[in-house]
């Protein structure tokens, strides 16, 4: 027969375990800001980084139950559609940003490509989004009048790996800082 003290301790232990299990994981202080771009690799390491107006930007998840996925890559070998959506999420600094690289067709080998500038419905393709509105301008789009370079340096449909580099200028002419420069980009993804 259980005593009230045993039942209380059992209930307290269960509540503690539930609380700990539901707690969001937050990054450690020493890895909040990654200031080094990932290496240029061809191993499907699921890495993505670049410089946004000269500042290092590396994809990372904020962790926790509702944390966004740090990186999503899609490739369709039938029509050559390729795109990457990368997130940078740091809870303690209220950062949630996204960079999207979109090439809607004809990626079938290594080589130099231009990004797609419009979606299938004719709307502009968002390239950079700042969900928490920390920047002067929160959205920028691909623009055919500016730099748009996607260099596929490794293409492996057997192991589902695509790697490469990128540079582009994205625009929003409704903003004071109307052009955002994304440089030194690199990725190594599995799709």
Ordered by start, the domain boundaries in the chain are 26-190
**Nearest-angstrom CA–CA distance, 157 and 131:** 34
Q: Cβ(101)–Cβ(141) under 8 Å?
A: no
For 68-109, how does the pLDDT look when each residue is reduced to its tens digit (9 = 90+)? 689 999 999 999 999 999 999 988 889 999 999 999 999 999
Helix (H/G/I), strand (E/B), else coil: 121: coil
Q: What is the pLDDT of residue 16?
A: 34
In the beta sheet, which residues pair with residue 187?
Answer: 48, 164
For 157-178, how does the pLDDT look when each residue is reduced to its tens digit (9 = 90+)? 999 999 999 999 999 999 999 9
Determine phi and psi for 12, rounding to 5 degrees. -60, -40
Q: Give the 3-state secondary structure percentages of the chain, helix then strand then coil, rounded to 5.
A: 15, 40, 45
Q: 118-157 burial, b if ≥16 CB within 10 A, otherwise e?
A: eeeeeebbbbbbbeeeebebebbbbbeeebbbbebbebee
In the beta sheet, which residues pair with residue 56?
Answer: 51
**Nearest-angstrom CA–CA distance, 165 and 153:** 7
Q: What is the helix (H) or strand (E) element at residue 181, kind and residue range?
A: strand 179-190
């Amino acid at each position: 027969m259980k005593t009230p003290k045993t039942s209380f301790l059992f209930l307290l232990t269960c509540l503690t375990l539930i609380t700990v299990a539901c707690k969001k994981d937050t990054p450690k202080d020493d890895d909040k800001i990654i200031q080094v771009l990932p290496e240029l690799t061809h191993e499907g390491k699921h890495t993505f980084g670049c410089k946004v107006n000269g500042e290092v930007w590396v994809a990372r998840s904020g962790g926790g139950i509702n944390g966004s996925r740090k990186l999503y890559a899609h490739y369709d070998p039938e029509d050559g559609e390729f795109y990457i959506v990368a997130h940078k999420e740091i809870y303690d600094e209220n950062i949630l940003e996204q960079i999207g690289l979109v090439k809607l067709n004809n990626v079938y080998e290594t080589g130099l490509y231009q990004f797609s500038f419009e979606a299938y419905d004719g709307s502009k393709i968002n390239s950079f989004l700042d969900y928490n509105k920390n920047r002067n301008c929160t959205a920028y789009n691909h623009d055919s009048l500016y730099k748009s370079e996607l260099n596929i340096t490794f293409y492996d449909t057997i192991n589902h790996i695509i790697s490469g580099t990128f540079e582009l200028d994205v625009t929003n002419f409704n903003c004071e800082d109307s052009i955002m420069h994304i440089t030194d980009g690199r990725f190594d993804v599995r799709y």
